[in-house]
Amino acid sequence: MSSAEVRFFNIAELTNLVTALLNKHDTSALAQTNHRLLELCEPLLYMDVRLDHNPHRVNLFDSIYTTIALARNTHFVRNLRVSVINHALLTNCMLAHLDSVTDEKQNLRPDLPPSLRSTASSSHVIPVPPMTNLERLEVALVLESYISTCFYYLETSNNPKTILLQYCRLLDLSPRLTYFKADRDAEDWSDAKQELKDLEQESPVIREGLQDLAMWPVGNNASEEGLVVILKRCPNLK
């Protein structure tokens, strides 16, 4: 880069004007130009995160390096769209982080039932801090057609009770959440209420949250309107 370009991009306000006109791909290319632009642009790449598995495109959980980059930038995430398969791995990564932090471990660990965990390759489970600034969450409770090609697929991705528990935990770890939308397959989830009978040993908070989730009206689309009870636990809900 020329000296004039260096001076231009050293001004954060001017850099913001440029990146506002770029898509994610171009912003990523700009961030790789030098360390200064990486520092300024990398947070922009994680404000809106999509975690799903598609063999025809790059996924954040495809490599250790991209997962570490996600862990480094979770506090920038404002919007998250996540599939069942990816949320199962994300939950295990967050639990790995909580296990490594003594204070958080003492405060949160007692409420984490063993069923939240899955057996996964240690190379896939990398500590990822909670997304404490998350504002919008969209989830898909339907297994993707590409499930057979996903090398980090976890058995809990096909267990309604565990999946609901995992989403309860994500809601509990998202104090700024103001919007929640979920899509699910009515045929696969119509027996969700039956799963409640297996939760007598779980903590009251988790059990209450699961009960709220299980009482969603069965349908192909369950929006935030059916989750008012859960979202009222979010202090900034309007």
**Percentage of the chain surpassing pLDDT 70?**
42
* pLDDT at res. 236: 43
Over residues 24-78, the pLDDT tens digits come to 676 666 666 766 776 777 777 888 898 887 766 778 888 888 899 899 999 999 9
Tokens of 178: 């103001």
Residue 80 has pLDDT above 90, yes or no: yes
The candidate with the shortest Cα–Cα distance to 42, out of 55, 24, 67, 62, is 24
Confidence grade of residue 172 (pLDDT, cut at 50, 70, 90): confident
Confidence at residue 92, expressed as pLDDT on a 0 to 100 scale: 85
Phi-psi region of 174 (alpha: psi -120 to 50; beta: other; left: phi over 0): beta
**Dihedral, CA of residue 88, residue 154, residue 61 and residue 182, to nearest 10:** -40
Higher pLDDT, 133 or 30: 133
104-115 pLDDT, tens digit per residue, is 445 544 344 444
Average pLDDT along the chain: 67
Read off the amino acid at residue 170.
L
What pLDDT score was predicted for residue 198?
A: 43
Where would I find the H helices in 155-203?
A: 160-172, 186-189, 192-195
Give the whole-angstrom CA distance, residue 176 versus residue 136.
9
Q: Supply the pLDDT for residue 130.
A: 92
pTM of the model: 0.66
| The pLDDT of residue 41 | 72
Closest CA to 62 of 150, 174, 3: 150
Reported as a pLDDT band with limits 50, 70 and 90, residue 134 is: very high
pLDDT at 224 over 50: no
Cα 162 to Cα 95: distance, rounded to the nearest angstrom:
14
> Between the ranges 13-22, 167-176, 214-223, where is the mean pLDDT highest?
167-176
Which are the contacts of 74, defined by CB distance < 8 A and separation ≥ 6? 46, 128, 129, 130, 131, 132
> CB-based burial of residue 191 (10 Å sphere; 0-12 exposed, 13-18 middle, 19+ buried)?
exposed
Q: Facing residues of 180 across strands?
A: 137
Cβ neighbours, 10 Å, residue 50:
15
- Where does the pLDDT of residue 5 fall: very low under 50, low under 70, confident under 90, or very high at 90 and above? low
- For residues 147 and 230, what is the distance between their CA atoms, to the nearest angstrom? 29
Measured between alpha carbons, how far is residue 214 from residues 1, 89, 156, 206, 209 in Å? Answer: 56, 22, 17, 12, 9
